[in-house]
Amino acid sequence: MRRRPSALYRFAQILRVVAILAMVFLVVFLSTVALSAAQLGIGIGRQAGTLHHSISAAIVGTSVLVNVTFPVPNQGYYNVGDLTLVAIFSNLSIQLSPIAVTEGGPVTIPGHGKGNLSLLTAFDMGQPAGPFLLLNDAGILGTLWLNASYAAVIPVNLEVAFHYHWGAPFANLSYATGTPFLGPNSTVEIPVTIHFENHTPGLKLAGNLTVTVTQPNGVICTQQRFPVQTYNGPVTLSETFIMPSTCTLTGDTITSVFTAPGINVALPTETIP
């Protein structure tokens, strides 16, 4: 007759089986987490690679605020919790320091679900890059840092590079002068065509453009204000500058300031040939 194993031995066997099952479960769990995290990184990388247009934009003070909705797909099995994002926008050929820094989140995205991170980014036109960005489109390099907890216990840190296409709000600003003619009270009237193109998607321009013409000796020949209203695309203003007959446009400088309630953006100065 076989001797029955002791209770301690049976308990040890049960613990061994439980430990093996726990190890198998842990390996499967970590494998699925790794696979899901990899899918998360791939999905975010694809979204970052197609991030070219803003959802909405506005000018506030001296900054252009661009609100970009960044979609985050979660094709994995587990929730992504407390997802936060930090983005740095830069273009070293325009400005050595970052052009803008923004943050988004936190947000939780369920497994096999989708979520959005909103990036409200302020491009300060008072920075050295400001005058260039007001008048010129530019390719801006971005870097995203994402932090989250995966499956409630695994920390996830991702760094993703992306390219953002900047569309200038006053692209290709130009002044074309016509033939001067005599006006009343010893004044000269000069037809002027003011043209620019709003290349910032979602930005509505509604305000006034104040234009000042100054002689090389510092004497102001004229300062006039013209209403501007557009959503996007080209803007052409046909105006008349009224100046004293002692003023000529040759060699003078033109400065423009776009103003609206809470808005004051100075455009780069141009010299009339």
Quote the tokens at residue 78. Answer: 């587990």
DSSP code, position 232: S
**What tens digit of pLDDT does each residue of 59-90 get?**
999 999 998 877 777 777 778 888 888 989 99
Instruction: Kindly indicate the confidence band of residue 118, based on its pLDDT and cuts at 50, 70 and 90.
Output: confident
Find all residues with CB under 8 Å of 229, minimum gap 6, and list them: 205, 206, 207
What pLDDT is recorded for position 157? 79
40, 135, 53: which is closest to 79 by C-alpha? 40
Report the percentage of the chain scoring pLDDT > 70: 82
> Model confidence over 236-253: pLDDT tens digits?
999 999 988 888 777 889
In this predicted structure, what is the pLDDT of residue 119?
A: 82
CB burial class (10 A; 0-12, 13-18, 19+) of residue 40? buried
Judge whether 180 and 246 are in contact, CB under 8 Å: no
C-alpha to C-alpha distance for 156 and 146, rounded to whole angstroms: 8
pLDDT (0 to 100) of residue 136: 95
Q: What is the mean pLDDT of residues 13-35?
A: 70
Statement: residue 209 has pLDDT above 80: yes
Mean predicted confidence (pLDDT) in 159-167 = 84
Average pLDDT, the chain: 83
SS (H, E, C) 195-214: EEEECCCCECEEEEEEEEEE
Most confident segment among 9-18, 159-168, 263-272:
263-272
> Domains, the chain, ranges and CATH?
27-166 (2.60.40.10), 171-271 (2.60.40.10)
Q: State yes or no: pLDDT of 151 exceeds 70.
A: no
Q: Which pTM value belongs to this model? A: 0.78
Q: What is the predicted pLDDT for the residue at 21?
A: 73
Tell me the three-class secondary structure of 8-69, residue by residue.
HHHHHHHHHHHHHHHHHHHHHHHHHHHHHHHHHHHHHHHHHHCCCCCCEEEEEECEEEEEEE
pLDDT score of 76: 74
Rounded-to-integer distance, Cα 72 and Cα 18, Å: 38
Task: Considering only residues 98 and 77, tell me which one the structure prediction assigns the higher pLDDT.
Answer: 98
pLDDT tens per residue, range 165-176: 899 999 999 988
The closest of 175, 185, 190, 252 to 218, measured between CA atoms, is: 252
Q: Give pLDDT, residue 45.
A: 64
pLDDT over threshold 60, residue 53:
no
Place of tokens 């609100």: 67
pLDDT of 50 strictly over 80: no
Residues above pLDDT 90, as percent of the chain:
34
Residue 34 — φ and ψ, nearest 5°? -60, -45
At residue 2, does pLDDT exceed 80?
no
